[in-house]
Amino acid sequence: MADKKNKPVKKADSKAGYGAESIQVLKGLEHVRKRPAMYIGDVSSRGLHHLAYEVVDNSIDEALAGFCDKISLTINKDGSITVEDNGRGIPTGMHPTEKRSALEVVMTVLNAGGKFDRNTYKVSGGLHGVGVSVVNALSKWLKVEVKREGKVFFQEYKAGVPVAAVKEIGKVDNKITGTKTTFMPDDTVFNTTNIKYEVLEERLRELAYLNKEVTIIIKDERTKKENHFHFEGGIKEFVKYIDSSRKSFMKEPIFIKGERDNTQVEVAFQYNESYNDNIFTYVNDINTHEGGTHLVGFKTSLTRTLNNYGSKANIIKNDKIQLTGDDFREGLTCVISTKVPEPQFEGQTKTKLGNSEVKSIVETIVGDQLQQYLEENPSVAKKIIEKCLRAAEAREAARKARELIRRKNALEFSGLPGKLADCSISDPDHCEIYLVEGDSAGGSAKQGRDRRFQAILPLKGKILNVEKARMNKILENDEIKSIITALGAGLGNTEEFDENKLRYGKVILMCDADVDGSHIRTLLLTFFYRHMKEIIETGRLYIAQPPLYKIKVNREEHYAYDENEKDQILKRFKINTKSAINEPSESEVTENGEVVVKGKGVTISRFKGLGEMNPEQLWSTTMNPETRTILQVSIDSAVAADKVFETLMGEEVEPRRNFIEKNAKYVKNLDI
């Protein structure tokens, strides 16, 4: 435990900080700076935002312990971030063994937070819970202010190293306590230090749903954006939020709550009119993307309880088809939040709960309370079970359709789609497949590719919108069928899917940079998100980045992938863009949209489609692994991804219009 007396540290105490402990500390911090990815995953935008989550998680811990109900995060004008809470404040007294202020220990010693052992449900999953000292080590500077016992304490660090000892800098009302941390991510560590409001907003909203007693405020001083999150309804409101653009026949989500052996379980769910299921699971506020024992417990219980009730109420007749677990989850939106004392995280991304005891805990709590709900609400119960019966019928039809594909494959000679230009190497780790919009671009890609390891599958026109179709319809679609057979691993999100049979290590979507292209890309992303999530989760899905502009200076050709790059290139050749484009005396716009700068031998043309590039250009700008850029698709926030797909692709018109009005800047290329 932390020392109870919390004597403020006197100046002289800092001298004690030059012993063996300090050397250890410096070594620890050095290692963090040398191998940041080991602590925060990566040094891209994702790792950068992770710094902020780490600091917020510490305040959330204080809230989980019951001592804090307000947390605010501010992105400051200079790009630094401030996180402030009204918890007890990090102890500032002398640390009994470290001979320095406990505050300094927490801020500079790796994993010191855990030494206090103050909270049963301490966040400790995956990259979470690495400790604020890691944030400190990866910050140019960090300042912490603690209010405790009527005093304000302060310490500042540079690259994790204290500038001076903890000192008292003022007095406050005894009742006011809390911790305020401001840090500037180190631009020599991160590829980017541009903090995105929307990214942090998403996680903070999620935390507020999961911890209904807390109010979380996020502010951006750069843009004056601001949001307050406080949800009295907790995860029940979370379910409604996820489903805000879907229709449900239930007035309110079903809510279940219970505790056994220190494990707390909260579940909220409802059914909507869609054909997909959306189950979000959390352990100690961490999104367990890969599921685990809590999810298994819930599924088992849902299937059994609904089956039993349906049979007893004579809605499910024995002679009809057998319902499976999938049928009971069609159109289900569910949030499962568990608080587990010593969570074991497994799986590729350490987001799968392994504790076996949790399965039966969730199973019993959900079983008992769901049964009671069904008995008390027979008309809702009937609607739910009838929906599951319809799902079973459709599943049967889909099975037949799948069977047909399989049989056809067995009959056909190679089993591969005719349009596929396969590569010659067969080791998936070295192979990639391009899904290309249109036959003409497909043709260029086939000619331009390196046929040893690059396969091309041209797709004709628009693929089916899977958001609006049931499985059997999806499987009738030719483009989707050829994607599934080309990849070779079966249909995703089912037991049939076999990752080991995947024929390519990378799946790269290549679409035009116009309205139609972004629509097709969204349709493809939706298909993978809904029906082959494994491809995204294992980091295999990519988006090709064809250039937007070709700039010809005399005979030399240069490609620019965005406006900024175009300006850079023009600057390099001392071409004044403004005059080149705006002043007709200096430049001229030709019929096909090219800007020709008079007398300078410069032509700026905008690529409208992949088809405008010849095979060599396509290879050198977009497909050559040595020179291309491809964007990896990730599901950082599954909730956010789901919302975007549902909003853009779903049935409801009003939320789509709102989304597009709100995000007009970002989706201006999207055809709806």
254 touches ligand 0RA (CB under 6 A): no
Asked if 170 and 153 touch (Cβ cutoff 8 Å), the reply is: no
Q: Which of 202, 346, 450, 516 is catalytic?
A: 516
Catalytic residue among 30, 290, 514, 594: 514
Regarding 54 and contact with ligand 0RA (CB under 6 A), the answer is no
Residue range at the interface with ligand 0RA (CB under 6 A); choices 85-93, 261-269, 279-287, 545-553:
85-93
Query: Smallest distance from the beta carbon of 387 to ligand 0RA, in angstroms?
Result: 45
Q: Which residues contact 420 (CB under 8 A, 6 or more apart)?
A: 455, 456, 457, 482, 486
Write down the least CB distance from residue 198 to ligand 0RA, Å. Answer: 24
Nearer to ligand 0RA, 49 or 533 (CB): 49
Minimum CB–partner distance for residue 118 and ligand 0RA (Å): 5
Stretch that binds ligand 0RA, among 87-95, 228-236, 571-579, 650-658 (CB under 6 A): 87-95
For this structure, is 13 an active site residue?
A: no
Q: Assign 3-class secondary structure to 61-86.
A: HHHHCCCCCEEEEEECCCCCEEEEEC
336 closest CA partner among 256, 216, 271: 256
Using alpha carbons, select from 429, 631, 650 the residue that is nearest to residue 530. Answer: 650
Q: How far apart are the first and last CA of the chain?
A: 58
Q: Would residue 396 show up in a list of annotated catalytic residues for this protein? A: no
Q: Which of 25, 28, 49, 59 contacts ligand 0RA by CB under 6 A?
A: 59
Quick one: 114 or 593, whose CB is closer to ligand 0RA? Answer: 114
Q: Is 70 in the site for ligand 0RA (CB under 6 A)?
A: no
Residue entry with tokens 């980091």: 539
Question: Near ligand 0RA by CB under 6 A, which window of 56-64, 450-458, 470-478, 654-662?
Answer: 56-64
Q: What is the DSSP letter of 95?
A: -
In the set 54, 512, 612, 646, the catalytic residue is: 512
- Please report how close the Cβ of residue 58 comes to ligand 0RA at its closest, in angstroms: 4
**Window 176 to 195, contacts with ligand 0RA (CB under 6 A):** 179
φ/ψ of 463, rounded to 5, equals: -80, 165
Rounded Cα distance, 630 and 200, in Å: 24
Determine which residue in the list 9, 36, 58, 442 makes contact with ligand 0RA, applying CB under 6 A. Answer: 58
Site mask for ligand 0RA (CB under 6 A), range 125-164, x = bound: ----------------------------------------
CA distance 324 to 495: 13
CA angle 98, 35, 347 (to 5 degrees): 100
Cβ-based nearer residue to ligand 0RA, 91 or 367 = 91
Q: Across the beta sheet with 595-597, what order do the strands follow?
A: 556-560, 549-553, 602-606, 595-597, 587-589
Q: Which of 32, 40, 63, 90 is close enough to bind ligand 0RA by CB under 6 A? A: 90
What is the Cα–Cα distance from 460 to 473, expressed in whole angstroms? 18
Active site residue 220: no
The least distance separating ligand 0RA from the CB of residue 85, rounded to whole angstroms, comes to: 5
Question: Among residues 17, 91, 129, 442, which is the contact residue for ligand 0RA, using CB under 6 A?
Answer: 91
Closer residue to ligand 0RA in complex, CB, 63/361: 63
Smallest Cα–Cα separation from 504: which of 395, 429, 400? Answer: 429
How many other CB atoms are there within 10 angstroms of residue 624's CB atom? 14
- 2 lines the binding site for ligand 0RA (CB under 6 A): yes
In the chain, the amino acid numbered 271 is Y
Residue 355 lies near ligand 0RA (rule: CB under 6 A): no
Q: Determine how β-strand 70-75 pairs with β-strand 139-148.
A: unpaired
What is the smallest separation between the CB atom of 78 and ligand 0RA, expressed in angstroms? 22
Rounded (5°) CA angle 626-196-81: 120
Q: For residues 144 and 541, which CB has a smaller minimum distance to ligand 0RA in the complex?
A: 144
Provide, rounded to whole angstroms, the least separation between the CB of residue 2 and ligand 0RA.
4
* Of 116 and 141, CB closest to ligand 0RA: 116
Question: How many alpha carbons lie under 13 Å from residue 397 in its C-beta half-sphere?
Answer: 13
Which CB sits closer to ligand 0RA, 90 or 641?
A: 90
- Any contact of residue 73 with ligand 0RA (CB under 6 A)? no
Q: How far is the CB of 89 from ligand 0RA (least distance, A)?
A: 6
Query: Hey, CA dihedral for 198, 203, 209, 211, is it positive or negative?
Result: negative
Shortest Å distance, C-beta 59 to ligand 0RA: 5
Which of 220, 422, 437, 646 is the catalytic position? 437
If one asks whether residue 85 binds ligand 0RA (CB under 6 A), the answer comes out as yes
- CA angle 563/569/570 to nearest 5° reads 90
Length of the chain counted residue by residue: 672
Nearer to ligand 0RA, 115 or 656 (CB): 115
**Residue 191 backbone dihedrals phi, psi, to 5 degrees:** -65, -35
Q: Which is nearer to ligand 0RA, 90 or 166 (CB)?
A: 90
What is the Cα–Cα distance from 614 to 445, expressed in whole angstroms?
9
Point out which residues pair with 170 in neighbouring strands: 152
Q: How far is the CB of 180 from ligand 0RA (least distance, A)?
A: 9
Q: Tell me the H-state helices in 41-182.
A: 45-64, 102-108, 112-115, 132-137
Distance CA 188, CA 190 (A): 6
Report if residue 116 touches ligand 0RA, rule: CB under 6 A. yes
Q: What is the CA radius of gyration of the chain?
A: 28
Residue 437 annotated as catalytic? yes
Residues of this chain that interact with ligand 0RA (CB under 6 A) are: 2, 58-59, 62, 85, 87-91, 116, 118, 179
**Residues labelled catalytic:** 437, 512, 514, 516
